[in-house]
Amino acid sequence: MSNLDHPKAAEFAELRAAIADERVRELFPYRFLAANDTFARLVDATAHGILDSIGALPTNAGTSVQLAKRQLSIPWRRTIPLTFLYERLSDSGILERENGKYYPGPARPDDFAAVAAELASREPGAAVAADILRTLVDEAKRFFSGEATGDEILFAPDKLPLWLKYFHNDNPLYAINNTVGAEALSRLVPEDGGPFEILEIGGGCGSAAEYALRKLGPAVTRYRFTEVAETFARHGDKAARAAAAPSTVVETARLDMTLPWEEQGVEPGTFDAVYSVNCFHVAPELDFVIGEAVRALKPGGTVVVSECVRPTKLARPIHAEIIFDFLDSFTDVATDPVKRPTHGFLTPAAWRATFEAAGLDEVTILPDVDAIAEKYPDFVVGAVLARATPST
């Protein structure tokens, strides 16, 4: 299936042209953009399928989130994912919204199986995303009745193989954050070949460490891989050690980012970079986590966060959030009107405010997500670099 023949090929060309940095631009090839667009359509089919399965699709009389909750006895803690489903379908034209109520819209959702097959054909490594979305549809009644939580459904023991595939560099929908993050790290390597020590937080199954260590090679003198979940940590340890150059010292440890890091073996002022991919946005108290990251840095060190970045002007759901809005760990976070207006992925403005509050005033978004979103609102991938003040 040729990506250059994709109906949005011209739009993809405009998007790539909007990425001013050539090295970053090459991280977003047509094949990724086509796969991401297909995944977005699959999210629409999933949202429609979930509402249909629980009897919450609106009729011509219309419905609202509160009305659906009351009629279907949906627990209040399920409000966030239910709201996402309605808003997403409204944004796609499958539903229409008027005066707070939702009605059938002019567009029809694509067939889930057909779009899943298209995604698998374009990018076999991304096919696992369809399996996870299918789980949400199949288990929607249990979730919205309050019988099971999203964590119990999505992280049941029999679902572990899905996540090992999802958090893998063969899956371009996830690997994009690893590639952008590694590019950001590469720009921090000392030109004189001096020591470059990295602390990774929430390393998961090791795909970010794997990509970064292979890209940076012997330039990394020390890499400390940390993860709180024991099952993921075992996979991450193997991936990091296999990818590291012979001269790189690899350390692995369990670390809960929500607790003081020094008590967990992170000596203050010892790392050139604190690195995290798709992790910090779930911190219940983000200010605490950023403060701990800053304390771990050497003078002049940098915090690098690579994950989905919500464009500042985007007032609608990001399609990638559909899976995570079902998880309490994603939604149960402390918010702030400026630094963290909502749960989930932060905007460039929120990241800047968060880091500046922690004393890091040299903040860079790579690439400039807000500038790109002026022409392509669905562009939501970036790395945030925040540098500590060098010693004088």
Kindly report, residue by residue over 126-142, the tens digit of the pLDDT: 999 999 999 999 999 99
Which of the pair, 293 or 231, is modelled with greater confidence? Answer: 293
pLDDT of residue 383: 98
Q: How far apart are the C-alpha atoms of 348 and 357, rounded to whole Å?
A: 14
Geometric angle at alpha carbon 365, from 23 and 343, rounded to 5°: 130
Using only the alpha carbons of the chain, give its radius of gyration.
21
Q: How far apart are the C-alpha atoms of 340 and 231, rounded to whole Å?
A: 30
Stretch 117-127: mean pLDDT = 96
**pLDDT tens readout for residues 298-350:** 999 999 999 999 998 876 788 989 999 999 989 999 999 999 998 999 999 99
Pick from 171-185, 233-247, 363-377: least confident: 363-377
pLDDT of residue 218: 96
Q: Is the pLDDT of residue 390 over 90?
A: no
**pLDDT tens readout for residues 183-218:** 999 999 998 878 999 999 999 999 999 999 999 999
Give the class (CATH, top level) of 172-387.
Answer: alpha beta
Q: How far apart are the C-alpha atoms of 17 and 28, rounded to whole Å?
A: 11
pLDDT of residue 392: 45
Every domain range in the chain assigned CATH 3.40.50.150: 172-387
Q: Is the pLDDT of residue 3 over 60?
A: no
365 to 41, 157, 349: CA distances (angstroms): 27, 37, 10
Could you give the percent of the chain with pLDDT greater than 70? 98
Crossing angle between the packed helical segments 112-122 and 30-53, to the nearest 10 degrees? 160
Is residue 116 within 8 Å of residue 127, measured between CB atoms?
yes
**pLDDT tens readout for residues 37-71:** 999 999 999 999 999 999 999 999 999 999 999 99
**pLDDT tens readout for residues 338-371:** 999 989 999 999 999 999 999 998 999 999 999 9
pLDDT of residue 285: 97
The closest alpha carbon to 31, from 134, 179, 239, belongs to 179
Q: What is the mean pLDDT of the chain?
A: 94
pLDDT of residue 316: 73
Residue type, 101: K
